[in-house]
Structure 1
């Protein structure tokens, strides 16, 4: 699945649908990884592994995902993700991938 197809699939997901972990993991690895490094250790954007994000509360990180960080390359994802999807990503980033 290419990036555009993934983004369109996520955008087409009804707002009341439960987050799709498989699609969201792919989004983190491909789209977040394009700036934060494919291993999430940093690149254009900072390291987003659990130890580096430990200072964030879940709700604050969810807001960063949804609204971006003005004055930085971090874009807002609110047009493409629901709050539940962003919260799932925040949990995933804060806890790490158990697999």
Structure 2
């Protein structure tokens, strides 16, 4: 899901696209709870939708944890 659905806006290598980069250095200012909340509730006024209808809080927390530790793929 991360690379298919999120990658459609954030880039298949998560380096950014329509949405910002999701690489750990770009997310360093956020903690796990903040990223989980963004995933679940979206960001009003942007293209970032809420995913709470499709993901549980545990699913969103797993994705957030993965984003904070992901090693970038080659461009």
**Which of 35, 38, 52 is 2:26 aligned to?**
52
Tell me the matched-pair count: 72
CA displacement 1:73-98 (0-9 Å, x = unmatched) = 0000000000000000000001114x
Alignment partners' CA distance in 1, 2:23 and 2:30 = 12
Q: Which deviations, in whole Å up to 9, do the C-alpha atoms of 1:24-52 show, x marking residues without a partner?
A: xxx00000000000000000000001111
Pick one of 27, 36, 46 that aligns with 1:72: 46
Structure 2, gaps ≥5 residues long? none
Three-state SS of the structure 1 residue aligned to 2:39 is: helix
Query: How much is the aligned-residue C-alpha RMSD, in angstroms?
Result: 1.2
Please tell me whether Structure 1 or Structure 2 has the larger radius of gyration of its CA atoms: 1
As a proportion of its length, which structure holds more helix? 1
TM-score if structure 2 supplies the norm length? 0.93
User: Runs of 5+ in structure 1 lacking a partner?
Assistant: 1-26
Please give the alpha-carbon distance, in whole angstroms, between the structure 1 residues aligned to 2:10 and 2:34.
18
- Rounded to whole Å, the distance in 2 between the matches of 1:87 and 1:94 is 11
